[in-house]
Structure 1
């Protein structure tokens, strides 16, 4: 076995097969970011009802937000009057899939996964939200009025491209590369069909996969090459789906947010519901796979059908976009000399930076806001009150630690 060569070839294959579909998905994600505004979503999710749960789940499926990026959006929904059950549904369905990851799923896992994965996201979101509605009742709240903003079409196009090929690569790029490297390492190190013995015990297989999926931070896109490598080594398609559902939906940061913002009861409902829905969906996917005759074509990666030269060009472009976005992150503006500096551990990505800077800039007395992602700090200049700034950060789902000095 030549590990360096096998590792490089496997990682390269995963990257170029995923690149064309991921770029297309990122472009769609950019359009959704511009045209599917948060104020539109907020108007539909305020009442504690099953219809709000359904809408929250449905709205979350196409949004290209990772486990980290969904937190500030969920905090905004909750602050503007969304019910606990709708917030739970949104937190579940959004990170488990998205416009970018649906196409990327097809590129590495084939058409059956690409079709079933959004359905799994819908079902898990509905289950979490419905159980929250039934067992965690709350009175009807008062929603704030929100107003839609408009901008010229050329401005929308620029913002769509910026979000698709700068902010999204910044948010998912690191995890995408990590997922590719893990998938390449699994392909190179683990013997073929190594997990075949577990197929005789499907429930145990799914529980083992679930055990390391729940605490793991992995985005919907970054989980795909790992799942592809697991299937190649003998894991059943259903167990791989368990990973694709539970991995992006749960991690220690998200669980901490649910506990602090929605309460312990909602946290218990959230975790139990995801565990049960992931296990059920894994079982159902295996049964569907058998019912369809275990046809290899259903799991044939879509990337295999594209010409190599085209995949290569897309792979180079995707790598350039990711490296450019990550370089921008390392050149982030320093905040040491600003009037207030807050340490905020929940800052993880460009989406966090965008939300904090946009929200704090609207406060009276705030002249300048700078977020340093690498140091997890927020710097604020102006005459705004420190307590007001701290409270605003908490409402957004970014509680500061220590004093802002």
Structure 2
């Protein structure tokens, strides 16, 4: 059971005392979080820690998962992509399936809590099925800078019923949305198996079990196998780096139950990497084990995040916390974390040669990589730990419920 007291000596005692004080006016208040998956992806990881900590400080917080069909999750994945700018044929059938799954789920999900917090588009329409007697908050973890216009108009009809919308970047705020919008950066739990300290022996054991050799420097991207993460582009970067430095690429991917695109992307990467997979120069490693991800991020010389779009990207936050140098795309919430040249490197996602140049530079200059990693860890300590996120949630709940 995660407790706030566990974070003593990671954050100042004053921070913990302030959190306890913020929670006092919320004692016994009943809050429910709703999302579409309990594993895979940053939202589930955040909720796993956040809900326990909310309960520990005196808020009665629960967490429920929307039940949906394969067709529903294929539709909502296309919605996710379209909200980030992809094309979409928004048929009446898709709208009907989306509404029906939410309506069916509402029939056996009783919501009589003091506040309802809905995460991302999948359960957004639940609000239609209840007579509102409490504040509803929509927490959007997606990049909304250029959403598909027709889809946004459709979903906005549900969002209008909410009392507040929370975004991961001010760039995502919508001028055409007459609902209060609030900025809240995601965060990591430094005590989770993915982020806690691990011994050199523990790292070696995890890599050996996963079949990852330690004979060459590792370049790694940790992400879903998703077109927005551009794993094929990472392979192109690696090809250029390998001309300068003998190294190995690890694509450490996870699989979420609400993401049906993973297998398709896996096959595309296989075709792209081709012979390099056969020789072991490129490795596809299933990252559903948090301890394995931890070990790979710590052992890697450089973490790459060549995303085309990002809501925030906790994979970057995780690597920064571990003191590993990061080269990442200047998109979404990543520039909220990385200051180019100080605690990592930022490039435009299409700049393959630029990515290769920075990665090569860091492989050849380990002192620079170490300094970037040191600055990165301190950035996360100050801004992106779960204690700060808990404090933000308590502030929001106090404002909307009291």
TM-score (norm: length of structure 2): 0.26
The structure with the largest strand share of the pair is 2
The structure with the largest helix share of the pair is 1
Q: Higher relative contact order by CA 8 Å / sep ≥ 6: 1 or 2?
A: 1
